[in-house]
Every structure is written in structure tokens, then in C-alpha cells.
Copies of this chain bind each other. A is one copy, B any other.
Amino acid sequence: MSPTGALTRRLRTRAVRFDTRGPSDVAGLETAFERGELTPESVVCLIGKTEGNGGRNDFTRELAVRAFSQVFERRLGLSATEVEERIVLSFSGGTEGVVTPHVVAFAVEPDDGPAPPGPRLAIGVGMTRAFEPHEIGRMAQVDETARAIAEIAARCGVAPGDVHLVQMKGAIPSYSYEEGLAAERAGRPLRSNMVWSRAASALGAAVATGEVSRSALSDDVICQDGSLYSTTASCSAKPGMGRTELVVFGQSAAWGGDLVVDHTVLLDMLDAAAVDALMARLGLRSGDPRLVGAFAKSEADPRGTLRGHRHTMLTDDDISDTRYSRCVVAAVVASRLGDPRVYVSTRAEHHGPDGGGPLALVVRAT
């Protein structure tokens, strides 16, 4: 890309999806390299599901990151830190129910072929600036997230309305006990935790894509007004991260290759109709080999009901609602796609309406 961020040459995205036999199973990626389906140099992002519980004591993500990082360390001659800075390794624990542990690897490379007949999947990666603890969960985080997304999209030649998925690892800067206490005494308690960081990140995406007007937002509506939401955000948050890591998936006429992306939002967990409509737009049928990746967010409806009837996900002390919600949304989506390789991560503050969540599909163009 040029110093100004504009595309000077056509790029294209390539993607390979592979099943894993465990969190550290890198064989699928190695095979893709050996077959020349991807080059290690061109990989920008891995998104995968591992067999953990998705909670605090889920170590499968760390195991996967270590294992996949080592592939790139070895093949590219880089240190672990250098790999971390170069490639987004985004693993989500929890393959409840039908979900096959799997990974989708995305690569970006120059495209010297003829221009495709229509817009194609563009992927851009970036970071926000570092946040102060007091900014998290407040408009400062929303604004900077929106700014960074807009910048990445622009750099990739993606119009705001053509963004379909914003995969984020939300910042949660650490703070001392004293800082926390001081903020509380000043009447502005810190929000530097997972809930708030996901919420503000999603609203940042909503502002960047124009789904929510900046003027409708304030510190007070965050985590309060469920009617304000993004349909493209997919954020998890990670304690200790000072900046938010961003991967923007959009459509651009300036990109080549054979991949396209589109998205929808499930209005609730049972909203199979939304999936059907999205598949129809993409010309995708059940079991279609054109499918490359399905990415969704889920949440057990916090009001405790679904279509007017009680659900028990929030009052079960044996199994976490996060596990149920991933299991349900993955089952519903997989039953329409005819494919159990579905990425669903959970907790969806301002990601779709309460009890619902976004779904993005990456497919090969017809």
C-alpha cells in the first residue's frame, strides 16, 4: 500500500479452512502451505474454534496460539513476538454441540490476474491507539475504535457500508487497585473489563459502518440501550491488552480473487429465517462447497425469555449460559448451512439486538 493508505495495486484474499484434531493440530495449515494454497508470508489472520469452555480456565486458546505461532516462527524465521505483531491469531474456545474444531486461515497477496466481475472480499488489519483504563467502556473507546475501523476500511478501498465483519480483540488495560478506588471516589468507576470493552468496541464498529449515529451515543447508553447495535462486530476482550486489535472484512471493487463476504443479524437465537435470507443473497445452498467460513456471535437472551417463553440458560448452575448459547446458535446456523464448521463466540453486548447476534459468511463467488 502507498504511504497515504490508498491501494496502489490490486490485492486478493485467499482462504483455507481445515479441521483440527486438537487445539495444537497444525497439520491442516502445513498441508495448505505444502500444496501451495497459501504461503506463510501472505497469511494475515487465523480464526479458529478450539475445544475449551470459552471461560477463564480455558487454556486451549493459549495452546493453539503457541502451536500456530511456532509454525510461522519456523517458516518465517521470526520470534514469537514478531509473529504476534504480524499475524492475527484469533482462537475462541467452545465447540459445544455440533461444532467441528476448525480454523480458517486468511491470506492477502498481490493479484495480477484480470479484474473480477464484481466486488471481492478485502481484509485489513490494524490496531487502535493505546487506551487509558478510564476510557474503556466509554465514548473515548467508541470513537477511537470507530476511527481505526474507518481508517482500515478506507485503506482497503472498502466503503463504510461495505464492511461485513469486524473481528476485534478488545483492549482491557490493567490498572492498580488505587487507580480503581480513585476513579470510584471521583464518581466515574472504571469500566476496564470484558463486558464494557466488548460493548464499546461493538458500538465503535456500529459508528464506523454508519449503523448507529454518533450523536445517539453517550457514556450512559453503553450497556444500557440494547436497541443500539452493530451487525458486523465480533469482539472478544482480553485483560492486559492496551490496544484493540482489529480485522476488517469488507467488499471492494478494487480487490481481486474469488471470495466474497456478506452478513446478516439474527434477531434472536431461533432466527433461521435470517440465515436463509443471507444464503439466498449469496446463492448458497445447504452443504455448499463454496462456503469458506461462517462467523457468528451469540447470547442467551438476558430477559430470560425467547419468543415469549421462559428459557433456563441463565439460571442453570451446572452449565454456563455461554456454553448453551454457543451450542444453540451453532446448531441453528449449521442446520441451515448443512455444515458443522461454524465459528460462534459468545457474549454479544451491542452485537445485534438483545438475545440475537451478527452472522457473516465468506464464500467463493459463483
Q: Does A310 count as interface, using CB distance less than 8 angstroms?
A: yes
Asked if residues A327 and B97 are in contact (CB atoms below 8 Å), the reply is yes
Q: Does A57 count as interface, using CB distance less than 8 angstroms?
A: yes
6 residue pairs, one from A and one from B, having the closest CB atoms: A55-B317, A100-B309, A331-B331, A272-B335, A97-B328, A328-B331
Asked if residues B63 and A52 are in contact (CB atoms below 8 Å), the reply is no
Q: Does A76 count as interface, using CB distance less than 8 angstroms?
A: no
Interface size on A, residues (CB 8 A): 63
Asked if residues A306 and B52 are in contact (CB atoms below 8 Å), the reply is no
Asked if residues B101 and A312 are in contact (CB atoms below 8 Å), the reply is yes
Asked if residues A98 and B306 are in contact (CB atoms below 8 Å), the reply is yes
Q: How far is B139's CA from A14's CA once the two chains are assembled, in angstroms?
A: 56
Asked if residues B63 and A306 are in contact (CB atoms below 8 Å), the reply is no
Which residues of the other chain, B, contact A332 by a CB distance below 8 angstroms? 331-332, 335
Asked if residues B24 and A66 are in contact (CB atoms below 8 Å), the reply is yes
Asked if residues A57 and B318 are in contact (CB atoms below 8 Å), the reply is yes
Q: Does A253 count as interface, using CB distance less than 8 angstroms?
A: no
Once A59-B60, A62-B63 are accepted as A-B contacts, the answer to whether A310 and B21 lie under 8 Å apart by CB is yes
Which residues of the other chain, B, contact A324 by a CB distance below 8 angstroms? 96-97, 327
Which of A37-45, A180-188, A240-248, A336-344 touches B?
A: A336-344
Q: Does A58 count as interface, using CB distance less than 8 angstroms?
A: yes
Asked if residues B338 and A307 are in contact (CB atoms below 8 Å), the reply is yes
Q: How far is B364's CA from A12's CA once the two chains are assembled, in angstroms?
A: 55
Asked if residues B310 and A319 are in contact (CB atoms below 8 Å), the reply is no
Please, which residue of chain B has its CB at the minimum distance from the CB of A322? B317
Q: List 17 A-B contacts (CB under 8 A).
A: A24-B59, A51-B312, A53-B317, A53-B318, A55-B318, A57-B318, A59-B60, A63-B66, A95-B312, A97-B324, A100-B309, A100-B310, A306-B340, A307-B338, A324-B327, A332-B332, A332-B335
Cβ < 8 Å to B, chain A residues 263-309: 269-273, 286-287, 306-307, 309
Known: A96-B327, A272-B336. 19 other contacts (CB 8 A): A19-B309, A21-B310, A51-B57, A51-B312, A63-B63, A95-B311, A95-B312, A97-B313, A97-B327, A97-B328, A98-B306, A98-B313, A269-B331, A270-B331, A270-B335, A319-B323, A328-B331, A331-B335, A335-B335
Q: Does A31 count as interface, using CB distance less than 8 angstroms?
A: no
Asked if residues A57 and B320 are in contact (CB atoms below 8 Å), the reply is no
- Which of B98, B99, B100, B318 has a CB less than 8 Å from the CB of A318? B318
Which residues of the other chain, B, contact A35 by a CB distance below 8 angstroms? none
Which residues of the other chain, B, contact A102 by a CB distance below 8 angstroms? 309
Which residues in A have some Cβ–Cβ distance to B below 8 Å?
19, 21-24, 50-60, 62-63, 66-67, 95-102, 269-273, 286-287, 306-307, 309-313, 315-320, 323-325, 327-329, 331-332, 334-336, 338-341
Q: How far is B100's CA from A225's CA once the two chains are assembled, in angstroms?
A: 26
Which residues of the other chain, B, contact A309 by a CB distance below 8 angstroms? 19, 100, 102, 339-341
Q: How far is B340's CA from A329's CA once the two chains are assembled, in angstroms?
A: 13
Asked if residues A311 and B62 are in contact (CB atoms below 8 Å), the reply is no
Q: How far is B80's CA from A67's CA once the two chains are assembled, in angstroms?
A: 13
Asked if residues A310 and B101 are in contact (CB atoms below 8 Å), the reply is yes
Please, which residue of chain B has its CB at the minimum distance from the CB of A67? B66
Q: Kindly name the residue among A315, A329, A334, A335 whose own CB sees the greatest number of chain B CB atoms within 10 A.
A: A335
Which residues of the other chain, B, contact A54 by a CB distance below 8 angstroms? 317
Please, which residue of chain B has its CB at the minimum distance from the CB of A310? B100
Once A63-B62, A316-B57, A320-B317 are accepted as A-B contacts, the answer to whether A311 and B98 lie under 8 Å apart by CB is yes
